[in-house]
Amino acid sequence: MSVVREDVPDLATLQRRAAQRAADRAGGADRLRGHIVCDSLVRIFTTEGVEVVALQGLDLVVDRGELVAIVGASGSGKSTVLNILSGLDTPTAGIARVAGYDLLTMSARKRLRYRRHTVGFVWQQTSRNLLPYLTARENVALPMQLAGRRGRAARRRAVELLELVGVEHCADRMPGQMSGGEQQRCAVAVAVANDPEVLFADEPTGELDEATAAEVFGALRTINAELGVTVVVVTHDPQVATQVRRTVAIRDGRTASEVRRTARVGADGVEELVTEEYAVLDRAGRMQLPAAFVDALALADRVKLTLEPDHVQVRSGDGRGTT
């Protein structure tokens, strides 16, 4: 998070700008179609009289059935986005919609229904995902039972979900009898027990080694592919880009860049994954250069821009380097 300085607009200004942008887009609703939509999203916290801007006009669109990772350093705003999308927090201004729910105007009752039936959660701390005195099967069956789905049907579905994420062998084990990776895969099964449309995962591999983390991401990909659940993973680990097809980077409360992995068939006929990085351009024409580019060319203060026929050239103000 960043403390508001003199050059940061106050709350009233941010709200006014967000409202104006929403009005300007009245005739261009196509851009706001998605299973998850954040547009000009602002979140300001006030602590001991000091305003702290966590989100400064963030834009994000996730289509139905996508598997997306949101990546950012500590204080970038990624946890704030997750809390808003999961219904745990409300934004200060802008647009936030998930599966047709307007997260700014939801009543308390509708918010509770949203959290119980529309979205599922996997937290980094397994203690928030699994009850320690229940077996894996019982943990997965519990959300269904609370929703009125009892008896054999719930138990059968619980086993099916454990099989889907590759931990059916843990069905009769307590969480303390499972490895960290097994616990997190069980947590994925718990999160989709009530057939949510969207699954949010907060640092689901933060406490796991690389091999085990790959197994957890494999479970998330399976849930995404087999059940059609839209999956959003929030993490500080930029290496997650190798596990998903689309990674969105957040910096200073704004969407900064995207990494996309697409499958292409090479000249030898073998399919390969191609990774490309994009800067995100907002409607005011602003973008953030990837930090690696800035560091590589020692860009600082001002940069020189040159418009070429098919690209924009960016140079250091003293003439060093080009990107």
**Bigger pLDDT: 272 or 15?**
272
Q: Enter the pTM of the model.
A: 0.81
More confident of the two residues 148 and 142: 142
Model confidence band, residue 268 (pLDDT cutoffs 50, 70, 90): confident
With a cut of 50, say whether residue 100 has pLDDT above it. yes
Q: 19 pLDDT exceeds 80?
A: no
| Lowest-pLDDT choice from 63-77, 110-124, 306-320 | 306-320
**Lowest mean pLDDT: which of 90-99, 110-119, 167-176, 232-241?**
232-241
Strand-strand pairing, 50-62 and 2-3: antiparallel
Residue 26 pLDDT > 50: no
CA distances from 231 to 7, 70, 202, 250, 322 (A): 36, 11, 11, 17, 37
Give the pLDDT mean for 134-154: 89
Nearest to 221 by CA among 205, 206, 236, 209: 205
**Burial of 159: CB neighbours in 10 Å, binned 0-12, 13-18, 19+:** middle
Predicted pLDDT of residue 197: 95
Residue with the larger pLDDT of the pair 267 and 253 = 253
The CATH code that applies to domain 2-288 is 3.40.50.300
Tell me, what's the pLDDT at 295? 82
Among 2-11, 46-55, 220-229, 247-256, the range scoring the smallest mean pLDDT is 2-11
Does the pLDDT value for residue 14 go beyond 70? no
pLDDT at position 3? 45
Give the Cα separation of 215 and 204 in Å (integer): 11
Asked whether 197 and 230 are in contact (CB, 8 A), the reply is yes
Backbone angles phi, psi at 149, to 5 degrees: -100, 105
pLDDT-wise least confident of 42-51, 114-123, 158-167, 292-301:
292-301
**Ramachandran area for residue 297 (φ above 0: left; ψ -120 to 50: alpha; else beta):** alpha
The average pLDDT across 279-301 equals 79
pLDDT tens per residue across span 176-227: 999 999 999 999 999 999 999 999 999 988 878 888 989 999 999 999 999 9
Residues of CATH 3.40.50.300 domain(s) within the chain?
2-288
- Asked whether the predicted pLDDT for residue 10 surpasses 70, the reply is no
The β-bridge relationship of strands 303-307 and 312-316 is: antiparallel
Percent of the chain with pLDDT over 70: 88
Chain centroid to Cα 189, Å, comes to 19
pLDDT at residue 321 in the model: 58
Query: pLDDT at position 317, please?
Result: 76
CA-to-CA distance for 288 and 245, rounded, in angstroms?
21
| pLDDT for the residue numbered 43 | 92
